[in-house]
Amino acid sequence: MFAPVFASCSVDQSIRIWDIRAPPNSMLAANEAHTSDINVISWNRSEPFLLSGGDDGVLKVWDLRQFKTGRPVANFKQHSAPITSVEWSPVDSSVFAAAGADDVVSQWDLSVESCDVGARVEGVKDLPPQLLFLHQGQNEIKEIHWHPQLPGVLVSTALSGFNIFRTISV
């Protein structure tokens, strides 16, 4: 099926939403979407969300209904190096994964809310409640993809080889 709307990201730190049915130069833009180059974006298949990752190591979630504001609906700074790949889960519209040049694959769930239980585990740094899983052990991770037929299974490619793993039941 032909989709007349698409998105692009750029080293000029912008994300643009293009509609080929609209007049020329009428695209929507978030001109300073990140503080450095934007490497990757992923369009959510069932919700009006766009995910972006850049050289700043930040993951941002954009609600396309509020895109004109130029502000993301969520920011996550868990990676310590540029983001190299992002992808929404094909079976759960609130779950996504990201890979970074810090040799980490992270898995997130936007439906998880913060719950203050009063006590903190000593020695564990504060982690966002939406962070489900961190996968390490590969060198120079370049891409991650959800398996199209096995729910919750991720495939990552790296200089050191590829990994296939399942972190949660989604």
Reply yes or no on whether the pLDDT at 76 is more than 80. yes
SS3 12: coil
Asked if the structure places residue 149 within a domain, the reply is: no
Asked if the structure places residue 57 within a domain, the reply is: yes
Phi, psi of 67 (to 5 degrees): -65, -35
Asked if the structure places residue 12 within a domain, the reply is: yes
Shortest CA distance to 45 belongs to which of 89, 9, 8?
89
pLDDT tens digits for range 126-146: 788 899 888 888 889 999 999
Asked if the structure places residue 77 within a domain, the reply is: yes
The pTM score is 0.87
Number of domains observed in the structure of the chain: 1
More confident position, 24 or 71: 71
Distance between CA atoms of residues 42 and 85, nearest Å: 9
**Structural domain span for residue 100:** 5-113+121-140
**CATH number of domain containing 43:** 2.130.10.10
* Burial of residue 148, with CB atoms counted within 10 A of its CB: 0-12 exposed, 13-18 middle, 19 or more buried: exposed
Asked if the structure places residue 157 within a domain, the reply is: no
Asked if the structure places residue 68 within a domain, the reply is: yes
Asked if the structure places residue 46 within a domain, the reply is: yes
Tell me how many degrees the CA angle 76-79-80 measures, rounded to the nearest 5: 130
pLDDT tens digits for range 13-37: 999 988 888 887 778 889 898 999 9
